[in-house]
Chain A
Amino acid sequence: QKEVEQNSGPLSVPEGAIASLNCTYSDRGSQSFFWYRQYSGKSPELIMSIYSNGDKEDGRFTAQLNKASQYVSLLIRDSQPSDSATYLCAVNPMDSSYKLIFGSGTRLLVRP
């Protein structure tokens, strides 16, 4: 079992729709969770961090964390073609807060 799992996609949504990206993790003791966006040929860019159960909103982005289910998600409201990218879920494992374990990423395609 991979430590951080994401559906590779592509997830295709029409412009203006809500995109829902999901991530599960295996280390129950993980404490910090991050979403990064990576455009083709570019480096990852931090979108959101979340540490507590529940929702965290920042503009059009909402991160949701459920530690009991070992599940973290990212919702993108009013999706725009410029949101088309690969979204990476990253987790600080319990045995080391000095590194991030990344999922393989979900490719999002927003259709105009």
Chain B
Amino acid sequence: KAGVTQTPRYLIKTRGQQVTLSCSPISGHRSVSWYQQTPGQGLQFLFEYFSETQRNKGNFPGRFSGRQFSNSRSEMNVSTLELGDSALYLCASSGGTTSGSGTQYFGPGTRLLVL
């Protein structure tokens, strides 16, 4: 079974721009979660989607948004980029149920650098 794929793998943007990251979960998985990883803050939860619905959102500003499509693929968008948004953005895929996300498997990540 193919794993979680994320595109692009690397991005360089400038302050004020916006960016869209994409994630394709493991085939058959319906839950997609997004995390931000930085050296200072570690791994932090952004949001989780299941069957096109956002079920939980972390403590991030509204500039961070996401969506999920009917094929379970997900995108996250960051608008008005700030220097502090430079991070590794990780997507995690899980089977998911109505009561939880289940065991999460991570994709390779997208490394975003904001200049």
Contact = CB atoms under 8 A, between A and B. Distances in A.
Interface of A: 32, 34, 36, 42-46, 49, 88, 90, 92, 96-105
A34 B105 CA distance: 11
A92 B100 contact: yes
Contacts of B8: none
Interface residues of B, number: 25
Contacts, number: 56
B55 interface: yes
B92 to A, nearest CB: 8
A43 B103 contact: no
A99 B56 contact: yes
A39 B15 CA distance: 29
Given A43-B90, A88-B43, A99 B101 contact: yes
A45 B108 CA distance: 10
B106 A96 contact: no
Interface string B21-62: 000000000010101000000111100101000011010000
Given A99-B45, A105-B42, A44 B90 contact: yes
